[in-house]
Structure 1
């Protein structure tokens, strides 16, 4: 029997009915502006779809020009369930969503396991939503592709940069970083803090990001370190919070969408 990681948050973060799920994502994508060229890397939020789906869609819609070209996705997101040091891989052969199975690039994953700060750690993947919520979007905007899912623990940005540099710019490869922004401030405070964080992201100033800036500060910092090294530019394409969508404005979570072209 194949080793498949089943969905952990279908029915809570997003619909578990495939038709309902596909329709929801389509409605978000239809609201986003089309572009002519797919980005090489992006940062997207990972909350429940009713809160952050529209924001995430502004980035995912930009992948549609690369629908048949993008064949591999490297997906990094923070750990919400367990604490560990380094980066966590999975032995799974595929990750499942209500829309079907996504095969993993097991050969590339095995090669990453040789890095001293990378290990297989199934517990990090078992219930983690930061990666899972990205998968249905990817299934909707891309044709067949292989996935390299990595849950990020405590590690320096330079280690993530080292890993990402192995793949950045290679033919048919996309990098996706999963992160929300500020958490549980009032609406006006969140807007101010998230604008400050976006300014730092655009300046590639990862040294001044902290956990209050973004729950995925570590993988975001790794991407910004790579962008700094390669003299890349990152663009903010959407910035909002749960008070703009389905949440109470007295206590919101911030969301941003960013791309590197």
Structure 2
């Protein structure tokens, strides 16, 4: 019998009803500014769709022209509920969302599990939203793909980079890093902090600290491999919850960045 992780935050972070979810994502994607990019990697936010869905859509919309060739998504996000040493794989063969089932790349999981920093943790994945909220977007823009999901805990940027390098593949493989930016600062302070963080990412400078981005470790690992593969980052969107659906007193920052082969 197939081992499957059921959705944990459907109805909270995004709609649980398939028709409503599809419609909401289509609206986000339709409103996204068109960009002529061929991304190898994306950084996207992972808050509730009312807060960060439009920002995430600006990244996923860049996949339109290459969606047919992407067959594998390597998805990394920070752990929010369970402490993990290293990078944790789930103990299942598929993830379910209201839009259907996503099969995991069990062969690639087997390959990267040979690395000492890669563990298996059902608990790390059971309630983790940073990975789950990306799946309906991926299901909406891609055709048929497998998933390599990794919950990143206490790890170094170099350990993340080693995993990314092993999973890098060719044009069939997309890397997605799930991360929000600063948390619960006043609006103007968040703009200043997030602006500095974005400048560092665009200049491929790491480390990115956890206070700057909750996915700072996976972002830092991506920066290492982006330098090696001569990828160029492109800022697609930078806003915060005060711009989208929240108060300006305590905001959370969001960005979408695409990494493509350098011109």
Q: Normalising TM by the smaller chain, what interval?
A: over 0.9
Post-superposition shift, 1:4?
Answer: 0.6
Whether the 8 Å contact between 1:165 and 1:226 is mirrored in structure 2 is: yes
Whether the 8 Å contact between 1:237 and 1:259 is mirrored in structure 2 is: yes
In the TM superposition, 1:69-148 aligns within 5 A as: 69-148=69-148
Give the match for residue 211 of structure 1: 210
User: What runs of 5+ residues in structure 1 fail to find an aligned partner?
Assistant: none
In the TM superposition, 1:14-53 aligns within 5 A as: 14-53=14-53
SS at match of 1:150: strand
Post-superposition shift, 1:232?
Answer: 2.2
Give the alignment's TM-score, normalised by structure 2: 0.96
SS at match of 2:39: coil
Whether the 8 Å contact between 1:28 and 1:54 is mirrored in structure 2 is: yes
What's the C-alpha RMSD, in Å, of the aligned pairs?
A: 1.0
Post-superposition shift, 1:194?
Answer: 0.6
Whether the 8 Å contact between 1:60 and 1:138 is mirrored in structure 2 is: yes
Post-superposition shift, 1:260?
Answer: 0.6
Distance 2:226 2:175 in 1: 12
User: What runs of 5+ residues in structure 2 fail to find an aligned partner?
Assistant: none
Give the alignment's TM-score, normalised by structure 1: 0.97
Distance 1:42 1:130 in 2: 14
Whether the 8 Å contact between 2:112 and 2:167 is mirrored in structure 1 is: no
Give the match for residue 152 of structure 1: 152
Give the match for residue 222 of structure 2: 223
Give the match for residue 202 of structure 1: 202
Post-superposition shift, 1:85?
Answer: 0.9
SS at match of 1:80: coil
